[in-house]
Structure 1
């Protein structure tokens, strides 16, 4: 309140009234929203029905057009058949037309039934396609989830590997630090013992060295003594520790280099040993060849000496004789190969001679046959109307004329075959027409002419036009529904804006009460007056 009081009896009432009013307005607005949503769903259902009807009408129109084209083709074929059979019997034409009309009507009924079945199948096919699409979407969604889970699993595995590696590295570093700490501790103790930064223990140490029994007493006293350590000494000691650590790292690096050098040296030694073995092997082969050469030379000399040939010129002549013998052997081998080739050619020549003799004998047998054929030809030519052979050759046909004649003969044969096929088809059609005529005569149909068939075609065209008009009406209704839907959306937006402004005005009305603020002033004045009365009464009670 404006008076500064912390409580007032009218505040609860005011708040309860305000909350009830807003609750009523909220319920009213939610009710309107549900009604609008219901209307929108109904309109969507109407639109879906109209689109389905439009698709059905279009499919029906396509089926009717295709059926009309088929009927026109059948009518043309029937006209041709009737033209073929018109020379046989004029009276059978009317019955044929009756049969055709009846068959057309029967086909139309069958076509309409098939169209309805096709529409049902198409709707079921669309539903199955939608279900299949939903299943494929669910499968793709599951595959995406699996891929994401697999990626997360891989990331977790990599993180685990990294953590394991870091843990191993940390444990190794901790171990190295502990080892360095122990080394520094031992070095520190050694430095303390060497520098003797303790109280004077010289006599005690001498006694300890002389007497082993007093060793325990010395240790207890050394533990009880206070060690006085200087800060500079500690800094120098830490510096020594750092230097020692650097030396250790340098030593480790040098050790690794030394190990690598030792390995390289071992490899080089192995290579040297391998090369040495190869050189030894080649040297042994060379020595063996030299030994063989000296042995062969000595054998040659001994052979000449044994033969009594001591002169060098004679030895050279012997060598020449050996080379001549070698050449003679080569020439003999070449002579043998040439003789073999000569024998092969000789055998081929004999084979050709045999073939020539057989050809001559065949020619001798064919000559009398040829002479007889010539005599027969001359006798036939003398009996014919031609005087000589040149006149006969001039009377022969050219290749083009022969080709044209053969083509003409083939065409005649084809036309005969086609005419035979047409005759068979016409006979079959005549038999079918006769059977249908008998059936129709049994059913009582006697008055069907060509005009009835044309009338049915006109009716089908009228039905087609009506279907097109229905399609236009349905499309117009769909467009109108779309415009109504857009108009409703704009109205909903306007209602939403008006609702927002109404909420603002209601909130201001709840706060102020009116445009000039009279309600608010009256409420404030009432609160102030009541508070002043209350304070005055309290003051009077105190007095």
Structure 2
């Protein structure tokens, strides 16, 4: 890493913007240069700028931020630092700047702006503080600490490593070389070792806690489980046997009940059908009447049409008479309108000729004269307005002249009365300065008086403090003696408590109690689980009984539904077959003809051929009902089957849950035995109260022990506190002694200050009195005496008077000029007013003559046509002629329309007469046909026919009731047949003889006994299975734990070996080893540098395992001695060699091509300085650029290339040479 350029602005004393280019002359000619200047000039500021640009901090000020920036030059609004550097041939630019708000020197600091970019490509790598610092460290391999120990050796850090203690040197090595990772590795290895050791011990303990059955116990358990399975099978077969008997008896009772119910339902359906016979006859007559109802409605429609045609003929006859009269009157009206049209045309033509010949010329003249009148009238009004305005201007000018003369008189009187105010214009500024000076002297007197009072108060207060300090000293001595006595008593109390029971015994007993809590907690958890499982077993058993009962009932209902479904399906088949037969018979009947022999019986008469339609309809209705009932029965059967399946699954799940609860209870009982022995508990598993009491006993004993321990610790703490208080009191006694001496010294100082303050007060009072007398005399001579107080208001009033006198003087001059101008304006206005008045008289005469001529023309025109406009009069005459023509035309049209209407009505009347004759003939024909149809249907009169008619709702209702009754009779008949078949089939079952005579209660009792026996065997089998499963799980756990322990032991051997090599709780083992290697490497590098500087000395480690350093004097027979025995110059050379070695060591990632040394040469004599400079020349020859900061004259002479920092006298700022001043347009070469 090499520094290429440095740019800075407003940093510490270096005000302004500067740039140093290390890539140009003279730095390229000689890489060794010096930064020189007086102490405090700002030499180190150049190095601070490099640190700021790279790391945003300096060795002296640390991190800079918006809340802390002490490096910005006072009185400036911004500062910056920029460094260009190269690493491995790539150039980078690092930038940092900070400014104040709005660029003001007193503005608030704003956040810093930073940037890191590549110089050649301009690519920006970072623009934020943290990413930029990380990127700098990645590119250079140096953080701030390493940078200041490798490239830049700051003030005060030069000999830090050489003179450090062993522990400090270890920390410094760790900080510089990054070897802290070795301590972290050592701690991590130790922690991993402890974790592995604890984990392995825990696994071994768990393995010892696992117990399994012996092979004999295991074989006996398996045999018992097999026997339980056989016994359970026999018990289940017995349950099924007695269950079948109960099921047969229940089925027999159900079928007997169904048969009786079906028989009663069939009898009721037949009775209902017989009772409906009168309504059936009424329905038959209604249907016959409905068949001939269309002929009756046609007859009534024809009769209504005849009546309508008669009424229409009468109406047409009346309309024919009215139309004849209207046609005659319309003809007369047409003749009258024609005569009126001729008269209107004659009058209109005469009126139009008069308007054109006389009225229109008069209108033109009147319009012309009216326009001339308006123009002349406007001109006259304007002339009058001009005359009036001129008269008003004359009056205004006269009034203004009078007003100005009055103001002039008043202002002149004011100037005469206040002639004394004229001197204020020259005297007032001097008086204001003297009064301000007087105010300052007065304030100084007041301040001196306050200081004198304060000095006297300080003397009094300090006298009191001296007395208080002596009092506090005596009180502290008394308290110290009292506290010494309390300490002796407390020591006796602590010794007596230790004699009762030692702290070690209490801790051992508490440890024993703490170790029993884990198994006790597990025991309590197991007990709670066991009690919950017992409760679950009871719940599962009750749930099992309920589900079994629901399942049996559901199965019974499902069987009944199946039987009903089979019966409905058989009935549907029967009805379908019957319907098919009836369809075939109907087809055969349709082929029969009267007089022809029947193919089946040979009969020539077929009386039943027309009476079968209703039977087919009823059969179809019955079929549809059976299909719907069958579908409904199927749906209910499916739902019931699903219910049975859900209940069966629930029963199985409940049984499994109960078996699992039994197994879990057995597992918990086995674990309880182990934990009881481990915790020393002699309580039954189901004894919840006993376990709780045992827990409380342990808690009480632990609380008592902790209270005893706390009491002992409290007494010890009191003893320690008393010891601390005694030491504090000792320090207070010493402090009080010092305070007494300090207070006496301050009292003498305050007394001297009081005398000095009194002398200053007397001098200020004399100066103030002399100035006040001078001001009073001068103002009195000018006629404005000085008041006793309120000087500022008095000066303001005098300033107002002076300003008012000057303003009045200026107003007098201005008013005199304005009065002369107003007199001239008044004369001009009078001349213009006389001319305007004469012109207005001429215009008035011409206007009156024009008005007379206009009046004559208007009178003549009014006599001819009134006030109506000419064009309007012509339009009105033309409109009257047009209206007369329109009226005549409308009369002609009305006459024609009336004649045509009369002809049309006559034609309509003839057609209506013909239609009436035809309608009467049709009515007679329909009446004859209706009489024949009515008699054929069996109705003697129209009244009988009308009584037989039914409303559509009633007819449909009776039809549905009839169909419903017939279908119900058929359905119940089929159900009765099905019930009889099922009853007979159940009696013919092969088990009927076995169960028909058996007693139901006895069967139920035997079934319950068998069921209980099955449950008992099932419970026993569950316990055996649970024990077998628990043993399997324990064996599997034991196997898994053994494998895990083997793996852990193998891994632990490696961890233990690693821990023996480098592991330690504090991390010292591996860290010291790494630090020793680093120190060895550093000493080798330092000896190389020291050989160049001075061949007399070399360095070596004091001990093989320590970090101490010895210096070996080769001129004294390789005697090794402590580094503290070196002289100042020798110490500098050794420190320089170590610093250069540290630079090489830290820069292991990056080559360090620039090196800056800040001070450290002041302790060298001339010869040693030459040696150091020769060494620096050698480093320069190796390609390094080296900058040295020093104010030593010898170095200035030896190093020709210099950057001089010059202090400007009395300004507190410094400057570089003008060649380094930065210009943004064209940067100058260094």
TM-score by length of 1: 0.29
Q: Which has the higher contact order (CA 8 A, sep 6+)?
A: 1
Higher Cα Rg, which structure: 2
Higher share in helix: 1
